[in-house]
Chains A and B, each alone.
Chain A
Amino acid sequence: MTRQDIADAIIEIITDIVPDEDCSSLNPDEKLRDQLDLDSMDFLDIVMELRKRYNVEVPESDYPQLASLTSCIDYLEPHLKDK
């Protein structure tokens, strides 16, 4: 997956998790929780969907690395580059 593919995949997951929000124009460098109404359970949903859809396991110690769209892509790129 390219960085753009990964960005699209993350936005698709987040759109499913907060379906009332507009996820089409997110600032990639701003924290997702500052832009969207995401609570801790929603955040666990992101982790769960990465597990289900892409077989990526995100350990709890790495959760802070999923803070923004850019940091998500940076973190996931090595896991998804061959998918």
Chain B
Amino acid sequence: MDSSTRIVITGVGLTAPNGDTLGEFRQNLLNGVSGVERYNIRYIGDTVAGVCHFDNRKYQTRKELRTGTRAGSISIYCANEAVADSGLDWDKIDRSRIGVFLGITEHGNVETEGEIYEISKFDYDVKYWSHYHNPRTVSNNPAGEVTVNMGITGPHYTIGGACAAGNLGCIQGLQQLLMGEVDVALAGGVSESIHTFGIFAGFKSQGALAEHEDPTQASRPFDNSRNGIVIAEGGAVYVMERLDHALARSARIYGEVVGYGQNSDATDFVLPNPERQAQCMLKAIAKAGIAPADIDIVSTHATGTPAGDRRECEAIRCVFDQSCTTTYFNNAKSFIGHAMGAAGALELAGNLPAFDDKIVHHTINVDDLDPACALPNLVLGKPLQVDKVDIILNNSFGMMGINSVLIIKRYES
């Protein structure tokens, strides 16, 4: 491939429950620091969640915060941080050649629930319904707020992809770059889901909402005592460019997106299909032109539900056989919970520094490993120093049987 068809990551902006920069997030992953805390939300009461604590005034006025959405605010923070990290000359760049492509699990539930609660104080008289309802709940809102905030006049939209959305945002950015529609893509995923009681109530009704007296131990993928998902908010936005564009400005390159896969289970609303997940990983691996054994880290999607964790492990076993002796598996949700539309993009970010330090961050809260999840080289309890990290595969799956896989390679000229 020539440098006009190679896509690289040159900036990272993120907020996670345990870190508001890549450096802080990575350090807390390596130090085993959870970001899950006690949380209270209307109608649910006391529960646990992954809550972000980024400085929302860093890039927004108080008025922008009042009129905008939490998803928009997360997006704006991450996009600005990513651009700052990338070293792009923001004053000189042609902003009509920048696109914003953000994966979301859902959008508008927070605003709609809040507005219904507000009019409940007025006997449900809709003349008290906010005139901001429509701009706040259009599905492009999070990406649109970024363009308004940053003066970006290229394309923007969100990609609705349940919990596979973070990877899908990156794939969309890559495709727009390859088609020459933009020169810079701000791509990734965001989620503000912890601000809607409905998602907590939905998982609770499904028997899939995690509970634990110690919130930092509530998210327990692969552990026999797991009891569901810890809902989290967060975001990760990448600056992506064609390699020639990045080289022309001597950009720092975090990695190259060498493969991706996306497909559908076509079987069930909720239960994943391991055969399709395996096919999705294999599609990405084929597109990257590599073999499974070439992959050094697999960032698993596992959320802490017995069925979901086991099915992903079944899919992984179909792809990674005994020849994959240096392929290691980890899980970031054990630290931060499930950041929904942000999950894929955030979890990838937590692994990117491994290209430099060759450390595989671990999975916490596995005290009693589910034998069905006992993958060889599952990194548990503490980080693992390895000899090389050249290729990372990032899984992200979601409801309605939506699967997405990204493969990132250490950049080599």
Chain A residues within CB distance 8 Å of chain B: 16-20, 37, 41, 44-45, 48, 51-52
Q: How close is A81's CB to chain B, nearest CB, in angstroms?
A: 24
CA distance A72 to B61 in the complex (A): 27
| A-B pairs under 8 A by CB, number | 24
CA distance A32 to B66 in the complex (A): 20
Q: How close is B2's CB to chain A, nearest CB, in angstroms?
A: 47
Residues of B contacting A37 in the complex (Cβ-Cβ under 8 angstroms): 63
Instruction: Give the contacts of B105-152 with A (CB-CB under 8 A).
Output: 122, 127-128, 130-132
**Top 5 A-B residue pairs of the complex, sorted by shortest distance between their CB atoms:** A19-B62, A20-B61, A44-B131, A20-B62, A20-B63
User: Nearest residue in B to A52 (C-beta to C-beta)?
Assistant: B128
Q: Chain A interface secondary structure, helix, strand, loop or mixed?
A: helix
B67 CB within 8 Å of chain A? yes
CA distance A51 to B63 in the complex (A): 21
Contact B127–A51 (Cβ < 8 Å) = yes
User: Nearest residue in B to A38 (C-beta to C-beta)?
Assistant: B63
Residues of A contacting B128 in the complex (Cβ-Cβ under 8 angstroms): 48, 51-52
Contact A18–B63 (Cβ < 8 Å) = yes
Can you report 21 residue pairs joining A to B where beta carbons are below 8 Å apart?
A16-B66, A17-B63, A17-B66, A18-B63, A19-B61, A19-B62, A19-B66, A20-B61, A20-B62, A20-B63, A37-B63, A41-B131, A41-B132, A44-B131, A48-B128, A48-B130, A48-B131, A51-B127, A51-B128, A52-B122, A52-B128
Residues of A contacting B132 in the complex (Cβ-Cβ under 8 angstroms): 41
Instruction: Give the contacts of B58-80 with A (CB-CB under 8 A).
Output: 61-63, 66-67
Interface residues on chain B, number (Cβ under 8 Å): 11
Q: How close is B59's CB to chain A, nearest CB, in angstroms?
A: 14
CA distance A66 to B223 in the complex (A): 62
Contact A41–B67 (Cβ < 8 Å) = yes
CA distance A18 to B61 in the complex (A): 10
Q: How close is B261's CB to chain A, nearest CB, in angstroms?
A: 43
CA distance A52 to B128 in the complex (A): 7
CA distance A45 to B66 in the complex (A): 11
User: Nearest residue in A to B65 (C-beta to C-beta)?
Assistant: A19
CA distance A44 to B128 in the complex (A): 11
Q: How close is B115's CB to chain A, nearest CB, in angstroms?
A: 12
Residues of A contacting B131 in the complex (Cβ-Cβ under 8 angstroms): 41, 44-45, 48
Contact string against A for B residues 8-30, beta-carbon threshold 8 Å, 1 for contact and 0 otherwise: 00000000000000000000000
Q: How close is B155's CB to chain A, nearest CB, in angstroms?
A: 24
Q: How close is A52's CB to chain B, nearest CB, in angstroms?
A: 6
User: Nearest residue in A to B64 (C-beta to C-beta)?
Assistant: A20
CA distance A20 to B66 in the complex (A): 11
Contact A19–B63 (Cβ < 8 Å) = yes
User: Nearest residue in A to B118 (C-beta to C-beta)?
Assistant: A52
Residues of B contacting A16 in the complex (Cβ-Cβ under 8 angstroms): 66
CA distance A48 to B132 in the complex (A): 11
CA distance A41 to B66 in the complex (A): 12
Instruction: Contacts A16-B66, A44-B131 known; list 17 others, CB within 8 Å.
Output: A17-B63, A17-B66, A19-B61, A19-B62, A19-B63, A20-B61, A20-B62, A20-B63, A37-B63, A41-B67, A41-B132, A45-B131, A48-B128, A48-B130, A51-B127, A51-B128, A52-B122
Residues of B contacting A48 in the complex (Cβ-Cβ under 8 angstroms): 128, 130-131
CA distance A44 to B63 in the complex (A): 14
Residues of B contacting A19 in the complex (Cβ-Cβ under 8 angstroms): 61-63, 66
Residues of B contacting A17 in the complex (Cβ-Cβ under 8 angstroms): 63, 66
CA distance A18 to B130 in the complex (A): 17
Residues of A contacting B63 in the complex (Cβ-Cβ under 8 angstroms): 17-20, 37
Instruction: Give the contacts of B26-65 with A (CB-CB under 8 A).
Output: 61-63
CA distance A19 to B28 in the complex (A): 35
Contact string against A for B residues 150-180, beta-carbon threshold 8 Å, 1 for contact and 0 otherwise: 0000000000000000000000000000000
Residues of B contacting A45 in the complex (Cβ-Cβ under 8 angstroms): 131
Q: How close is A20's CB to chain B, nearest CB, in angstroms?
A: 5
CA distance A41 to B135 in the complex (A): 11
User: Nearest residue in A to B125 (C-beta to C-beta)?
Assistant: A51
User: Nearest residue in A to B62 (C-beta to C-beta)?
Assistant: A19
